[in-house]
Every structure is written in structure tokens, then in C-alpha cells.
Amino acid sequence: MRLRQNPNEGSVGFQIAPMIDVVFVIMLFFMVMAGAVQRENELKTSLPGSAETSSGVDFVDEQIIAVSDTGEVALNEEPFDGVGSQELPQLTTPLRRLKQSSEAAKTPLAITIACEPRARYGRAIDVLNALAAAHISNVTFTVNEEE
């Protein structure tokens, strides 16, 4: 037995109602999710800038004592005492003043002894004795390169 089909019943056509339902569901999803996203200007961030400190920063006060091949001693390129002086009294006085001023300013004092390659060891010992008389203990050594 054959069923008769009505020509008007065979093609359903394009159904717009389910498409509108899907679009409304997607639109509802995006509206809900848009409220959950924070904007960038609402984030609590601090940009890098200058920082203020409550205490001062300590800078090392470095002084250079040069000992030449001839035995001359200079503090920051200013010559002190003759070659024959072992006590170095002219050098000891400014070293004591440097120590007092560094203690008053509460900054560390660093002394660098820069000897020429052919300087006598005894002259370096004389400089160390002058530093000991001034109560300076932060001392480093370096050797000036020959040119």
C-alpha cells in the first residue's frame, strides 16, 4: 500500500525560530561574561617610580695614597713628607682628620694604597704605620701598571 504524500507537506523550509533562540542564548552568555571581566584601569597596580627611603644611603669615602718608585707619598695626588721621613707626620695629620670626619658623617672610610711596581716595601710599611696611627683599618692595595 502506498501512502499518498501531499506536495505541501514535504518541504518544511527554513525555520527561523530555533536560530533566534540560539542567538539569544549566545548573546546572554556574552552579556554575563562581560560583567566578570575586570577592566585594566580598575586593576590596583602601582607603576615604578622614585622611592623614598627612611634612612640615608651610605657611600664609601675612598681616598688613594700613591707611593712612587722614588719613595714619595701622595694623598689624592697631593704630595706629603719627604723621601727620608719614616714617621710621615704630614700624612698622619690629614688621615686623622679624614677618620674624624667619616665618623661624624657615619660613612665608612676606605683607603687604597697604590704602589708603583718598583716601590720599596719599606715605604708601603711606613704608609701602613701612618694609617695605624690614624686608627684606619679599611685598607686595600693596588699596583699601578707600567705604561
Query: pLDDT tens for residues 6-32?
Result: 656 666 677 888 899 999 999 999 888
Helix (H, G, I), strand (E, B) or coil at 96: helix
**Could you tell me the fold of the domain covering 61-143?**
Nucleotidyltransferase; domain 5 (3.30.420)
Going from the C-alpha of 67 to that of each of 4, 49, 111, 142, 143, the distances in angstroms are 123, 45, 13, 10, 10
Give me the chain's average pLDDT, please: 80
108 versus 9: which is more confidently predicted?
108
- CA-to-CA distance for 68 and 126, rounded, in angstroms? 13
pLDDT score of 76: 87
